[in-house]
Structure 1
Amino acid sequence: MSRLGRTSARARQVWRALRKNPYLERVEQARHRNEDPPPPEPPPVDDLEPDPEADPGIPRSLKVASSWAWRTLVIAAAVIGVLYLADILAVVVIPMLISLLLAAMLQPLVALLVRAHIPRSLAAAVVLVAGLGTVAGVLTYVINQFIEGVPELVANVQRGVQTIQTWAKEGPLHLEQAQIDNFFKQLSDSISNWLAADPTSAAETAGVTLGVALTTLTGLFLVLFTTFFFMRDGRRIWNFLIGMLPTAATEPMVRAGNASWRSLVSYVRATILVAVIDAVGIGAGLVLLKVPLAIPLAALVFLGAFVPIVGATVSGAVAVLVALVGDDWVTALIVLGLVLAVQQLEGNVLQPILMGRAVSIHPLAVVLAVGAGVVLAGIIGALIAVPLVAVLNAGVRQLRMKPSPPPTEEPAEESPPTGTVTA
C-alpha cells in the first residue's frame, strides 16, 4: 500500500473515533434539542371526525345529567342489594357488628394483659368473662332498684290521678263525678282490650315468642364467640381478608382499615366516657331531688348516650316525665334544666375534645343515620348506625388521600470526568 493510501485509512479511523466520542454526541443532542421542531402537518379535512360533544341534537347538560343518573342508579342498586343480603343474614350480621363495638371497647384491656406477658387467648377470655360479670352485676342492681322504686311511683301516680280528678270536679270544668268515673273506666277498658290476648291467636303468639327467644339466644352466643375471636385474632382476620384483594389494592386497604379501626376505637371510648358523665350528672341530680326510680333512670341515660342526640333526648324526656308524674311540675322543671345543661356540656365540650377530628361527623348526618338505622333495624340499627358512618367516613377519607412518597436520598454529586477536551 502506498504512503498516501495509508494516510487516508488512518484519517478515516481518526474520524470514526472522533464521531464515537461521547462529548461530541452530547453536543449534537444539545444542538438538536435547541432547534425548534417542525410544526405538525394538519390532517386532511376529509379525515376529521365530528365531535360528539358538539352534536346539536342533544344538549351537553342532558348528557351530563344522564351520565350521573345511570351511575347513581347503579350505586343505589348496589346499596339496596347489600341491605337486602344484610336483612336476610340479620341473625349473623347484627351480632357481628355488635361484636366489633365490644371488641373496640375491650381490646385495650386485652393489649394491656398481653404486655404483661399473658397469652392472648387467656387475656381475651379473662376480659370477656370480666365484662360479662360487670354487666350482669350492674343489671342486677338496676333491676332491684327498679323493683323497689315501682311501688312509690305507682302511689305517686295514683295521687296525681286523684289530683286531676279533684281539679276536673272543682276547677273551671265543673264536671260531675259520674262523668269523671266514666272517662277513666273507658280509658282502663281500652288499655285492657289492647293488652288482652286473642284466644284464637294464642298459638301464633306463642310461636312468635318462641322464635324471638331462640333468635335472641342465638345472637347472644354469636356475639360472645365473635367478640372473643375479634379480640384474639382481629389482626390476622383482617390480613387474611386483605390478602384476597389484588396487589395494587392491598396497601390502600391496609391504610383504610387502620384508620377505620382507630376511628371506631376513638368513638367507643369517647361514647362510654360521655355516657358515664351524663349518667353520673343526671343521676346525682335525680337522687338529690328524690325523684322515684333515680338509679334506673340514670342507667337509661347511660344506655341512651350510645345513640347520639336522639338517645339523650329520649332518655332526658323520660326522666322529666317521671319527675312530673312522681313529684310535681317544679321538680320536673328542675330536672329539665339539669338535662339541658348536661346535654350542652356533652355537645359543646365533651364530644369535640374526646372524639376530635377522628370521628368528626356533622349533626345532620348523625340524625339521618340514626333515623335510617331505626327504619332498617329498629333499636339495634340506631345503636350501630353512627359508628358505622364514622368507620366508613374514616376509611373513605383515607382512601382519597394520596400516600406521602418515601424520603429519597439526595443524589451524590457527579465527579468531573478525568479527561478534558481542548480546543
Structure 2
Amino acid sequence: MIRRTRRDPAPVASPQPQVPIVVAQVPDDPPDGVGVPYVLRFSAAWSWRLLLVLAAVYVGLRLFGLLSVVLVPVILGLLIAAIASPMVDRLTGSRLPRGLATALVVITGLVVLVTLVTVVAQQFSSGFTELRDSFDDSLVQLEKYLADLGLSRTQVRDAFDRVRDAVSAGSGGNIGGTVVSVTTTAGHLVAGLFITLFATIFLTYDGRGIWAWLVGLFPSRAQSRVIGSGERAWAVLTSYVRATVVIAAVDALGIVLVALILGLPLIVPIGVLVFLGAFIPVVGATISGIAAVAVALVSDGPVAALVMLGGVIAVQQLEGHVLQPFLMGRLVRVHPLAVVVVIAIGGLVAGIFGALIAVPLTAIINSVITYLAHERRSRLAGRAGAAGPVEPDRDSGVAVDPAVTS
C-alpha cells in the first residue's frame, strides 16, 4: 500500500503594489465668459446691440436725407389725409361716390388755402409799410434811450451801419450761386407741392387699398399684429391732427381778437403764423407769441406789447390745461418733458419738418409698442391657460403643472 506524502502548498506570490500612473492632461480653453465679471458681460452685450441700433438709425436718417424731396411731401400728404379722410367718409356715408367726395374735399381745401394766401399777401403788403415806419420810430426812441445811458447817437448809428453792411456783404457775395440755389429750392418746392397734392388725393381715396397691399408684404403669421398696430397708429394720428387743428384755430382766434382790440397791423398774417405754430407744441406757440408781441411793441409801444403778452399767456394756458387734455385725451398723451426733448431732436435732425412730426411720431411709436406688449402678454397668458390648471403636489405641496408631470 503506497502511502502518499502530503505536500505543502506552493507559496503564492503576493501582488506587488501598483504605482498609480498620473497622466498630465492639458486643460481645454475655458468657456466664454468664465472669469469675466457679470456686470462687464451684461454691459458688453447691451453695448453692441445698442451700437447696431444706432447704426441702423443713422443709415435710416441718411437715406431719409437723400430721399427727403419725395418722403417729406408724402408724409405731409399723410397728415392732410388724416384730416380729409373723416370728411370723405361722412360724404361717402350719404351715398356720394368716394371719388367725387374726395374731389370735393380736396378742391374745397385748395380754395381755402389759395384764399388765405391771397389775404395774407395783401395784408402783408399793405401793413408792411406802416410797420416799417413804426420800426424806424422805435429805432429813434432806442437811440434816445441809449444816449441817456451814455452812448452817443453816432456810436449807435455806426453799430447799426456795421450790422447792415455785414448783412449786405453776406448776402451779396456770390450772386450766381444764390440765384442757382434759389432756383433749385423753388423747383423742389413746386415738385413737393405736387407730390403732396397727389399723395393727399390717393391716400384719401384709396388709403385702405394701399394699407392692404402693405400688410400683404408681411408673413401671414405676423399680419394680425401688423393690422392691429396700423389701426392704433392711424387712430393716434387722426386724433392728434384733428385736435391740433382745433387747438390751432382757437389759438389763432384768441391772438387775432387781442390784435383787433389793440388795432395792430398785419392781423391776418399774425393769425396764420399762430395757427401754423400750434402744430409744433410748446415751441411753435412760443415763437408765434413772440412774433405777435414784437409786432405790438414796434407798432404801438410797450403797453400794447404787455397787453399782447398777457393775451398770449392766457391763450397758452387755455390750450395746455383745457383744450389738449379734453381733445387729445389719453390716446395721444405724451409727457411735456418728452415733448420738448423730441421736438429738439426732430429740429436738429430734420429742421422744421422734424419738429413738426416729432410729437405725433412719438405718440404713434408709444401706442404701437404698448399694443404689441399687451398682445404678447395676452398670447403668453393664452398659452399658459391652454396647458391646464396648476395643481399642488400631494407629497411636497408645491404647485405642479399636470402637463409637465404627465
Which bracket does the TM-score occupy, shorter chain normalised? Answer: 0.7 to 0.9
Tell me what 1:97 maps to: 75
Q: In 1, Cα distance between the equivalents of 2:321 and 2:168?
A: 45
Deviates more, 1:204-213 or 1:340-349: 204-213
1:246 and 2:222 matched: no
Q: Which residue of structure 1 aligns with residue 112 of structure 2?
A: 134
Q: Unaligned 5+ residue runs, structure 1? A: 1-49, 409-423
The aligned amino acid for 1:191 is V
Q: CA separation in 2, counterparts of 1:294 and 1:128? A: 27
Pair 120,189 (structure 1): closer, same or farther in 2 beyond 3 Å: same
Report the equivalent of 2:14: none
Which of 123, 137, 153 does residue 159 from structure 1 map onto?
A: 137
Report if the CA contact (8 A) 1:106-1:127 is conserved.
yes
Q: Deviations over 1:50-69 (max 9, x none)?
A: 996993x1111111111111
Give the one of 71, 95, 100 matched to 1:122. Answer: 100
Aligned to 1:393: 366
Structure 2 residue matching 1:118: 3-state secondary structure: coil
Seen in structure 2, the aligned counterparts of structure 1 residues 174 and 222 have a Cα distance that, compared at 3 Å, is: closer
Cα contact 1:267–1:355 (8 A) shared by 2: yes
- Alignment of 1:186 with 2:186, yes or no, is no
Aligned to 2:53: 75
Report 1:380-419 matches (<5 A): 380-402=353-375
Q: What is the alpha-carbon distance in structure 1 between the residues aligned to residue 343 and residue 277 of structure 2?
A: 12
Aligned partners of 1:110 and 1:127 also within 8 Å: yes
What one-letter code is carried by the residue in structure 2 that aligns with 1:382? A
| Equivalent position to 1:84, from 59, 62, 79 | 62
Question: Within the alignment, does 1:219 sit opposite 2:192 as a pair?
Answer: yes
2:266 maps to 1:293: yes
Distance in 2 of aligned mates of 1:101 and 1:186: 45
Structure 1 residue 336: Cα displacement: 1.1
Instruction: Supply the distance in 1 between the matched residues of 2:223 and 2:209 (Cα, whole angstroms).
Output: 14
8 Å contact 2:102–2:204 — kept in the other structure?
A: yes
SS in 1 for 2:194: helix
- Please report how far the alpha carbon of residue 305 of structure 1 lies from its aligned counterpart in structure 2 after TM superposition: 0.1
After TM superposition, the structure 1 = structure 2 runs for residues 8-407 of structure 1, keeping only pairs within 5 Å, are: 55=34, 57-169=35-147, 171-173=148-150, 175=152, 177-195=153-171, 197-198=172-173, 201-402=174-375
SS in structure 2 of the partner of residue 359 of structure 1: coil
Q: Distance in 2 between matches of 1:215 and 1:376?
A: 19
The alignment's C-alpha RMSD in Å is 2.3
User: CA shift at 1:150, angstroms?
Assistant: 1.1
**Structure 1 residues 232 and 54: alpha-carbon distance in aligned structure 2, compared to 1, 3 A threshold:** closer
Q: How far 1:181 moved relative to its partner? A: 4.2
Answer whether contact 1:253 1:399 (CA < 8 A) is retained.
no
Query: Could you report, residue by residue, the CA deviation over 1:238-291 in whole angstroms, capped at 9, with x for unpaired residues?
Result: 111111211211101100000000000000010000000100011101110122
Shift of 1:223: 0.7
SS in 1 for 2:371: helix
What is the deviation of 1:80? 1.3
Contact 1:101 1:268 (8 Å CA) reproduced: yes
Aligned-residue offset at 1:167: 3.3
d(CA) in 2 for partners of 1:64 and 1:166?
67
Distance 1:174 1:399, change over 3 A: closer
Q: Kindly provide the CA deviation profile for residues 21-62 of structure 1, in whole angstroms up to 9, marking residues without a partner as x.
A: xxxxxxxxxxxxxxxxxxxxxxxxxxxxx996993x111111
Asked if structure 2 preserves the Cα contact closer than 8 Å seen for 1:98 and 1:384, the reply is no
Q: Is the 8 A contact 2:33 2:41 kept in 1?
A: no
* TM-score w.r.t. length of structure 1: 0.79
Q: Which amino acid aligns with 1:124?
A: T
Where 2:375 maps in the other structure, the secondary structure is: coil
Q: Which moved more, 1:253-262 or 1:129-138?
A: 129-138
Give per-residue Cα distances to partners, 1:282-311, cap 9 Å, x unaligned: 110111012222221111111000000100
The one-letter code sitting in structure 1 at the alignment partner of 2:211 is W
Deviation at 1:206, TM superposition (A): 2.0
Q: Percent identity?
A: 41
Instruction: State the secondary structure of the residue aligned to 1:308.
Output: coil
The letter for the 2-side match of 1:301 is V
Q: Tell me by how many angstroms 1:130 deviates.
A: 1.0
Cα distance per residue 1:346-381 (max 9 Å; x no partner): 111111111011111111221122112222221122
AA paired with 2:109? G
Residue 208 of structure 1 and its aligned partner are, at CA, apart by 1.7
Letter in 2 for 1:265: T
Number of matched residues?
353
Q: Distance in 2 between matches of 1:371 and 1:278?
A: 22
Contact 1:53 1:60 in 2 (8 A): no
Alpha-carbon distance between aligned partners in 1 of 2:293 and 2:163, rounded to the nearest angstrom? 24
TM-score for both structures, normalised by structure 2? 0.82
Aligned-partner SS, 2:329: helix
